[in-house]
Amino acid sequence: MPTQTDEAADYDFIINLVYERSRIRLHDGKQQLIRARLGKRMRHHGFETLGQYCDYLRSTGDGDELTHMVDALTTNYTQFLRERDHFDFLVNTALPKLVGNRKRFNIWSAPCATGEEPYSIAFYLSENFPLAAGWDWRIHATDVSTKALNTAQKGVYQEDRLASLPQDWWRKYFQKGQRDYEGYYRVKQPIIDRVQFKNINLLGNYTMQDQFEVIFCRNMMIYFDRPTQEQLVNRLSQFLVPNGYLLIGHSESLNGLNIGLRCLKPSIYQKA
C-alpha cells in the first residue's frame, strides 16, 4: 500500500516530467486531475497504482508513452469564435495595415488545440479576403498534443460545437453528416486545404519557413511561469513580420516582461 509520502513523490514526478516536456506547470492541487486523466494510460498498461506507472516511465523512458501522457494532461478546451473581437481586429485592423495590396500572407495559430481557432480564422479570412478575389493566405496551426491535432486535421465536430457560429456559415463552410455521421459536421475541404497542422512544442527546437503577419497564442501563458512566458514571447516575436501582431488571451498579460513588443490594448501586442 503506497504511503502519502510515496504518492506525493509520484505526483511531483509527473508534474516535473510534464514541465520538462512541455514547460506547462501543473500547480499544487492538480492531483485529482492527474489521477483522473492518467487513469486510461494506467489501465492500458495494466497498472493499478500511479506509482507503478511512474516506475514504468522511469525505467523505460518510453517516448511514445511520454507523448500520450502529455496529451492526457494538456487542457485543450476551445470553441469556435472564442474571444471574437480578436478575429474582428485581425480582418479590420491588423491585415489592412500590414498587407496593403500584397495578396499573400500567413497566420499562425499556436496552440491550435482541436482546430476551432484556426478554422475560425479561416472562416473570417474567407469572408473578408476571399480566395476568389486572388487572396492567397495560409494558416499554420500547431500544438504539442498529437491527440488534439488528430481531431483538428479531421475537421469533424458535433453539431453543438457549431452553436457560436452564424447559422449561414454552417452550410457555407461545413458538410452535414449523414447516416453514421448524423449530428456531425465536417469542415469543407477548401478550408481544410488552407490550414497546415503540425506537432510542435513551442519551447522546443523548431524552425518555421514563413514569417507571420499575426500570431494567435491565446490562453496558454497562464500555464507558464514568468520566465517561460518571456522566453516564449521572445521566441514567437522572431517569426513576426515587422509591425506584426501577437494576440494573447483576454485573461493574460505580458506586463513586466522584457519583450520587443508594445501593448496596443489588453491582449494585443505589436512588434516594435
Name the residues annotated as catalytic: 37, 143
Instruction: Report the C-alpha gap between 153 and 155 in whole angstroms.
Output: 5
Start-end of H helices in 81-225: 85-89, 95-99, 116-128, 146-154, 167-173, 189-192
Distances from the Cα of 74 to the Cαs of 3, 19, 37, 179, 259, in angstroms?
27, 11, 9, 33, 26
Cβ atoms < 10 Å from Cβ of 216: 28
The burial of 43, by beta-carbon neighbours within 10 Å (0-12 exposed, 13-18 middle, 19 or more buried), is given as: exposed
The residues pairing with 158 across neighbouring beta strands, listed in sequence order, are 184
| Pairing verdict, β 136-143 and 195-199 | parallel
Cell readout for 265 is: 490594448
The residues pairing with 197 across neighbouring beta strands, listed in sequence order, are 141
